[in-house]
Structure 1
């Protein structure tokens, strides 16, 4: 086995009243960590005392995945600024926990060029400038805190701005900060990348985080993604960070999630 990629599971699929209880369950299923969900209204910051207590108890929480109603590429500038402020807050929280970083898309569910009215209210050049501004600000916060912000490309039906790893890499090149990295998600890659392995290879130096779900958005093993090829590619690019399971489930969590670490570790 290669230098281990911690296989993490997101907190919302774990039963338990406390993170410590969720951690016991995650470990019993074979997971190495928990990925937190960063909800809006600075909810993650409000949880900081409980999160720090969980860290002291040995809970491993390396990353945060944003869960808000608006995002850093919002058309409305007030909403965009609020999203940047909330993501900055999440970066500070994950730094306080000794984690690695927080993940965000450009937007989610705001606009798709594949659905009416097909043409967004901003030009591609304006989209780029908005994202460079937002990610540049977040990158500077992340740099100061010693963590990273991960830009997640989403598929064309969920976002119109950043769909491929190459899209994300182009933006990161414009920003020029090492603290801004790519968050690669196998589900979106399955839709958008003609050759997911080649796309990962090309973007390899910029990959800061990986999320895994299968071709149908269910847990790994419930669809048709080639996990052997995925594992070989992860090894080839030298990625040793966490792999977080972000998926819907094909059955009850306690029945389907324990098989996932076994599957992934077969190839990592």
Structure 2
């Protein structure tokens, strides 16, 4: 089992300090955050120094105000350019790839005004265009662009693993499962993992309440056993709010997850 933890959850002034804490707490890697305005590329010197010091950084989770499914074409274009840059950087670090949702917080079919300004067919065209460009760029650099479904209140375009799989038009486009969003959207999370298995490149883990695993009601034994059964050998990356101080909560969380695998 390989456990990662997102960098913002870790105490420490540098990636080296954060990684030392993460390893002591029972984790194997740090998941990076990719901010906009090419801030991630601006960290390249810092990231290369951390890599040389043994810090393991396999993945990047996008952290921007707009995404590839934005209604504004200029914002969509910027999101694509930011992700192209992040893919280039993670490739230089020898990582796996970059993940992004279709959008976040832009629109929900469950909240007023209920009718989006774009049809489902137009949504799909917009996402396919962006992902195909990113997929080609990722393939050239030997990494992956990974699409993450979000729950219905945060995104109206891609909510389930099956919907994300439909957009995997080439080998360099893959899917991220997030246990929190799956808890809301998947009728049967274990079955969804089995059906998405050929396209599943990464997993993010958090509880039904968005806190750390072990504080809610997700059936971790079943979901982790399913990942074993489908041969998933990627990372489980902790992305959540922490209930309690990280010095206590993070070691407890790593121990909680590892007891199932």
TM-score with structure 2 length normalisation? 0.99
Q: Secondary structure at the match of 2:167?
A: helix
Residue 158 of structure 1: aligned partner: 154
Gaps in structure 1 of 5+ consecutive residues = none
Give CA-to-partner distance per residue, 1:131-157, whole Å, 9 cap, x none.
000000110011001000110000000
Give the Cα separation in 1 of the matches to 2:29 and 2:145: 19
Query: Residue in 2 aligned with 1:11?
Result: 7
Give deviations 1:13-72, integer Å, cap 9, x for gaps: 112111101111111111100000001111110000010000000000000000000000
Corresponding residue of 1:66: 62
Matches within 5 A, 1:219-234: 219-234=212-227
Matched, 1:196 2:203: no
Q: Is the 8 A contact 2:68 2:76 kept in 1?
A: yes
RMSD, aligned α-carbons: 0.7
For 2:14 and 2:171, the matched residues in 1 are separated by 34
Q: Structure 1 residue aligned with 2:25, among 17, 20, 29?
A: 29
2:253, 2:227 → 1: CA distance?
16
SS, match of residue 190 in structure 1: helix
Kept in 1: contact 2:41–2:89 (CA 8 A): yes
d(CA) in 1 for partners of 2:113 and 2:162?
26
Deviation, structure 1 residue 207: 0.2
* Residue in 2 that maps onto 1:115: 111
Deviation at 1:248, TM superposition (A): 0.4
Q: Deviations over 1:217-243 (max 9, x none)?
A: 000111111111111111111110111
Shift of 1:123: 0.3
* 1:252 CA drift (Å): 1.1
- What stretches of structure 2 of length at least 5 have no aligned partner? none
Q: In 2, distance between residues paired with 1:90 and 1:243? A: 21
Q: Is the 8 Å Cα contact of residues 11 and 246 (structure 2) preserved in structure 1?
A: no
| C-alpha separation in 2, matches of 1:40 and 1:183 | 21
What is the number of equivalent residue pairs in this alignment?
261
Determine the structure 2 residue equivalent to 1:97: 93
Q: Determine helix, strand or coil for the equivalent of 1:9.
A: strand
Determine which of 144, 165, 179 is the counterpart of 1:148: 144
- TM-aligned CA deviation for residue 267 of structure 1: 1.8
Q: Does 1:84 align with 2:80?
A: yes
In structure 1, how many angstroms separate the alpha carbons of the residues matched to 2:160 and 2:181?
8
> 1:68-110 CA distances to partner (integer Å, 9 max, x unpaired)?
0000000000000000000111111110001001100000000
- In 2, Cα distance between equivalents of 1:261 and 1:250: 14
Instruction: Quote the residue 2:125 is aligned against.
Output: 129
2:250 matches 1:266? no
Cα shift at 1:260: 1.5
Q: Secondary structure at the match of 1:7?
A: strand
Report the Cα distance in structure 1 between the residues aligned to 2:255 and 2:194, rounded to whole angstroms. Answer: 24
